[in-house]
Structure formats: C-alpha cells, structure tokens
Amino acid sequence: MPGPAASHKPQSGRPAEPGRPPLPAVDVRVLARVRTLSAHPPQSLVIEGGGAPDREAAAFAWASLLNCQSRGDRPCGVCETCRQIAERVFRDVIVVDKEFFEEAKREGVSGTDAMRRLLPVWGQPPHGEGRRVTLFTLAHELHPSVANLLLKTLEEPRPGNVFVLLAPQRERLLQTLVSRSFVLTLPWPRARATEPDAAEWIGALLHFWETGQGWFERTGTKGGADRDLAQRIVLGLQHALAEALAQADRADRAGKTGGAGAVAVRLAKRGPVGLRRLDLALVQAQEALGQPTAPVALVLDWLATAVIDK
Ligand SMILES: [Zn+2]
C-alpha cells in the first residue's frame, strides 16, 4: 500500500542540497511495480515501453530502491547512496551506455573487450549492502558479440548482481535474453505520439517513402515544423516501428488496431532490413533534434531520405 504521502503525480527524488541532481521523476505506478519486484529481485530485468527517459528513470529508481540506505518502500532520494546513484558515481551501479562504448573506443578497446573487463566484477558480490546493478541503457543496440557475452553472463549465477536491459520493445532484444528476464512494460507515450499534427506529418513521410513525392515542399515551407513537432514525429515513428517489429515477430497482425496500427502495417512492408535502417535513422534523428543548434527541417529531410532503398 502506498504511504500517506503518496500522490498520483510523478514522484521525483527530492534534492537534499542545491546543486545535487535529484533522481529522475518516476511515475508512481511504475514505482509501485519496482517496489513489488524488489522483494525478490530478478537477476535480469527488461524495461520496455515508454520513452527512453522514462526507461532510464525507472532503471535508476530500481537501482536506488535496491541500494537506498533508508530501506524504505521507495528510494529516499536524500541518502548518500541515492545521491551518488543520481550523480552516476555509485560504485555498485554500472551504466553500460553509449558513453561506455565510446570511452572504450578512445582507449582502443573493442566493445566486447570492454564488456569482458566487467566479468571479474560481476563475479564478485557488491561493495555495499544492496545489489550491484548493471544498466544497459541501449540494450537493443548492443553489438551481437556483446549481447552474446551478456547472455553468457546471465546464464551463470552472479550473487548480489542484477542486470537491467532497456529497450523500446522486447522484440528488439535477443529472444534468449528476454526469456531469462522479467519484463517490465512502461506505459507507451501513446497520447503524445498520435497527436493529429504529428500523425499528419508521419502520413506524409510514409507517402514519400512509398512514392518519392510530396515531402520537400513541406519542409521547404518556412515554419514547417518546429523542434517539438519534429520530436513527436520521431517518437510516433518509433512507436509504430516497435509495433511493426512486434507484428513481424509474432506474425500476428490481427487485433492490432488503433493508435499507430495503420502506420505500423505500412512500415512492416519495408521488411526486416528496411525496419532496421529506419530504427537506426530514428535514433540519429532523435539525437540530432536533441541539439538545439540542429536545423529541424534539415534533420527531417535527412530522415526522409536516409531510409529510402538505395
Ligand atoms: Zn536513499
């Protein structure tokens, strides 16, 4: 049962001092679910659904809950452990993200070797009294050899260690990884993704991909799409892509209606290679749009052409 202080607003960690980053905000319903899981933490947890920030927030809440010194039913957000986790300096939380692989690259180490260096760490119990949590923030983008190494790791007992795999949808992970994991599905950002203006632009993109027409006059118009709209277009496409991949995987198109269903069906016609290309392009477009200096129209034009069969 939630405590008396529970509210239905997102529960954000409370910064104890100015300048300290708070734990990212997590929906109370998600917090309630990770709290239930924490009674018997699964060795591997897949967090799917939501947007990338939602998945990360849930993962950090999970890591904090398993290590918070207050041992309460939610991360206190103020103890030294919670604060270190929020600052990403806690020694029992390992984040395997883009930066992890980029740093390895700078050191001249392959991603697989960088992962291998963690094997002895995972062979040891955590330093503190909680669990060592290793987060794979982009589990769906792991190089196959890295994913296989992770799989081998999960096949062995790793006392005191838990793993968290973040992905837009479980279908984008090795099936063998998913079958060894508990899957936590966050609510999809459906309402935002299907707002009529974004849906209309997505329709135009699909039309362009199918016919090669009707796109550039749109982005060439002054004030065609602002950054917020462009981000919602990318988000809507990611949502539809996830559905398309799920449909392809389950070979089950029946009963998939509403939301981005029709878009997903049109995307699914692109086939596995086309969908993979779209996946990569959307990630790059999303990153570009996250940079305030990137011209929105150029990013959208790049996206429009990047996924066309050459
Ligand atoms: Zn705490």
- Dist. CA 25 → ligand 1 center (Å): 15
Maximum average pLDDT range among 10-19, 117-126, 242-251, 282-291: 117-126
In a domain, 11, yes or no: no
Phi, psi of 271 (to 5 degrees): 80, 170
pLDDT 10s digits, 2-13: 333 333 333 344
The answer to the question of residue 250 being in a domain is yes
Q: Where are the alpha helices (DSSP H) in the chain?
A: 28-37, 52-67, 80-86, 98-106, 111-116, 119-122, 144-154, 175-179, 190-193, 196-211, 216-220, 227-250, 261-268, 271-289, 296-306
**15 found inside a domain:** no
Q: Ligand 1 center to residue 139 CA distance, Å?
A: 27
**Residue 190 contacts residue 239 (beta carbons within 8 Å):** yes
State which residues form the domain around 250.
190-306
Pair of tokens at residue 177? 């990884």
pLDDT at 233 over 80: yes
How far apart are the CA of 58 and the centre of ligand 1, in A? 15
Distance 93 CA to ligand 1 centre (A): 14
% of the chain residues with pLDDT over 70: 84
With a cut of 60, say whether residue 135 has pLDDT above it: yes
Q: Across residues 121-133, what is the average pLDDT?
A: 95
Assess if residue 279 is contained within a domain: yes
- Strand 44-49, strand 132-136: pairing: unpaired
> Edge to edge, what strands does the sheet with 132-136 contain?
93-96, 132-136, 161-166, 44-49, 182-186
With respect to residue 146, please indicate whether it lies within any of the assigned structural domains.
Answer: yes
Which amino acid does the sequence have at 291? Q
**Is 148 in the same domain as 47?**
yes
pLDDT at 14 over 50: no
- Range with the lowest mean pLDDT among 85-89, 148-152, 162-166, 240-244? 240-244
Question: Ligand 1 mean position to 100 CA, how many Å?
Answer: 25
Residue bearing the bigger pLDDT, 216 or 246: 216
Written as six digits, the tokens of 200 are 């209309």
Tell whether 133 and 211 lie within a shared domain. no
Give the per-residue pLDDT at 21.
54
Instruction: Report if residue 14 sits inside a domain.
Output: no
Q: Is 5 contained in some domain? A: no
Query: Residue 156 Cα, ligand 1 centroid: separation in angstroms?
Result: 30
Distance CA 250, CA 51 (A): 22
Residue 189: per-residue pLDDT: 62
Q: Which of 186, 205, 221 represents a domain boundary (last residue)? A: 186
> Do 128 and 46 have their domain in common?
yes
Same domain, 178 and 195: no
Dihedrals phi, psi of 7, to nearest 5 degrees: -135, 175
Which DSSP symbol is given to 129?
A: S
184 C-alpha vs ligand 1 centroid, how far in Å? 22
Asked whether the predicted pLDDT for residue 116 surpasses 90, the reply is yes
At 251 the pLDDT is 54
Decide if 287 is inside a domain: yes
Decide which of 154, 186, 218 is a domain's last residue. Answer: 186
What CATH number is associated with residue 86? Answer: 3.40.50.300
Residue 300 C-alpha to ligand 1 middle, in angstroms? 42
User: What domain count does the chain have?
Assistant: 2
Confidence of residue 276 (pLDDT cuts 50, 70, 90): confident
- The residue that leads in pLDDT, 120 or 249, is 120
